[in-house]
């Protein structure tokens, strides 16, 4: 009679085992640890966090307490890849699980059916990681700041950088006449506070021609807005620099906009510790500290820093004007 298989819900793959799964599967299998609950897995991993490369968790134990522990795992070892193995009955939950910021990948197989030899191809190799970091460098990012990211996270970052580069390069430069350039320059320097009659006389352009050109240029290339002088109402404007656990920035951003102090939220890229910028209005330091603590409590937020503009030293309008000047 064959011995009954011991059930398990978590697989821990040490770095050494990962490197052996492809070349020496028998040795790799021996090093892999199969555990029956997430708490035991966390205690085991905590003893030497950096020695583990992958943690696979069964969807059978997926729940808030499990995800809380996985979040802690990511804090003590940011480079570990966390995979969720889906039972067939949990397939409907895959879209929900995908949105959790600290889950790197989903495997559509029960944990007992996973071919462990496929794990290296799922999470990538050191060679792929080096290639991704090199590509990030070529795309203008400070690659050394992303060395602790998992390969799955690096793939997402590189994809985002490629899309960003595509957006900034795939455009047709508008053509301007000399009169267009002169009108744009005067509108920018005067911040739009110049009458068409005065502009017509200054540039020696017929009034009707200038009015027609001005309307087209303002509609196509200029933005005019009113903004409050917040200090007149007793408010200060500050910027919060928010680091998220992974790439769930849209979800976190929407939650930030629910706070009455938050004016706007921007998604950003460039360093590994600033994922979102939030512009806020506060009356005093106590209000700001209270807001920061509330934001830190949001699921998916790792850390929050702040910066406050004291005064404008100056504006270099030449930088704006050179945009539409001929090369």
**Mind listing the pLDDT tens digit of every residue in the chain (327 residues)?**
444 455 789 999 888 887 676 555 566 667 888 999 999 999 999 999 888 988 999 988 888 888 889 888 988 888 788 888 887 665 566 777 776 767 878 888 888 888 877 777 777 666 777 788 888 888 777 777 777 676 767 777 788 778 777 766 555 677 778 889 899 889 988 888 899 999 999 999 999 999 999 999 988 888 877 788 888 999 999 999 998 876 678 888 889 999 999 999 998 876 557 889 999 999 998 999 999 999 998 888 888 999 988 877 887 877 877 777 765
Cα 326 to Cα 42, 173, 178, 230, 323: the distances in Å are 61, 11, 10, 38, 8
Give the start-to-end residue ranges of the domains of the chain: 10-123, 127-166, 178-221, 233-308
Q: Which long-range contacts (CB under 8 A, 24 or more apart) does 170-176 make?
A: 174/220, 174/221, 174/324, 176/324
Q: Which two tokens stand for residue 299?
A: 């699921």
Q: Please report the pLDDT score of residue 75 as a whole number.
A: 85
The CATH number assigned to the domain with range 10-123 reads 3.40.50
Res 195: pLDDT: 93
Helices (H) and strands (E) in the chain, counts: 14, 9
In this structure, the strands spanning 10-14 and 33-35 are antiparallel
Q: What is the pLDDT of residue 23?
A: 57
Assigned fold of 233-308: Alpha-Beta Plaits (3.30.70)
Q: Other CB atoms closer than 10 Å to residue 85's CB: what's the count?
A: 23
Instruction: Specify the pLDDT at position 1.
Output: 41
Give the CB-side neighbour count of residue 78, counting CA atoms within 13 A: 13
């Amino acid at each position: 009679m064959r011995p009954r298989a011991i059930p398990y819900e978590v697989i821990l793959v040490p770095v050494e085992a990962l490197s052996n799964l492809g070349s020496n599967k028998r040795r790799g299998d021996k090093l892999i640890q199969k555990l029956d609950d997430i708490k035991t897995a966390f205690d085991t991993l905590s003893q030497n966090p950096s020695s583990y490369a992958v943690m696979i968790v069964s969807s059978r134990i997926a729940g808030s307490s499990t995800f809380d522990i996985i979040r802690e795992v990511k804090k003590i070892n940011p480079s570990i890849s966390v995979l969720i193995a889906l039972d067939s009955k949990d397939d409907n939950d895959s879209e929900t699980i995908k949105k959790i910021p600290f889950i790197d990948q989903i495997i559509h197989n029960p944990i007992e059916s996973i071919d462990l030899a496929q794990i290296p191809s799922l999470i990538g190799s050191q060679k792929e990681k080096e290639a991704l970091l090199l590509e990030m460098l070529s795309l203008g990012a400070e690659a050394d700041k992303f060395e602790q990211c998992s390969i799955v996270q690096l793939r997402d970052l590189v994809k985002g950088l490629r899309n960003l580069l595509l957006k900034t390069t795939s455009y047709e430069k508008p053509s301007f006449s000399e009169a267009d350039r002169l009108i744009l320059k005067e509108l920018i320097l005067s911040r739009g506070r110049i009458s068409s009659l005065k502009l017509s006389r200054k540039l020696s352009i017929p009034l009707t021609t200038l009015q027609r050109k001005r309307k087209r240029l303002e509609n196509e290339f200029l933005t005019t807005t009113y903004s409050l002088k917040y200090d007149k109402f007793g408010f200060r404007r500050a910027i919060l620099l928010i680091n998220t656990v992974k790439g769930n920035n849209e979800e976190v951003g929407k939650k930030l906009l629910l706070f009455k102090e938050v004016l706007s939220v921007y998604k950003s890229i460039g360093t590994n510790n600033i994922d979102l910028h939030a512009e806020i209005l506060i009356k005093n330091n106590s209000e700001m500290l209270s807001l920061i603590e509330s934001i830190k409590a949001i699921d998916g937020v790792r850390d929050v820093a702040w910066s406050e503009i004291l005064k404008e030293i100056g504006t270099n309008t030449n930088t704006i004007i050179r945009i539409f000047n001929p090369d």
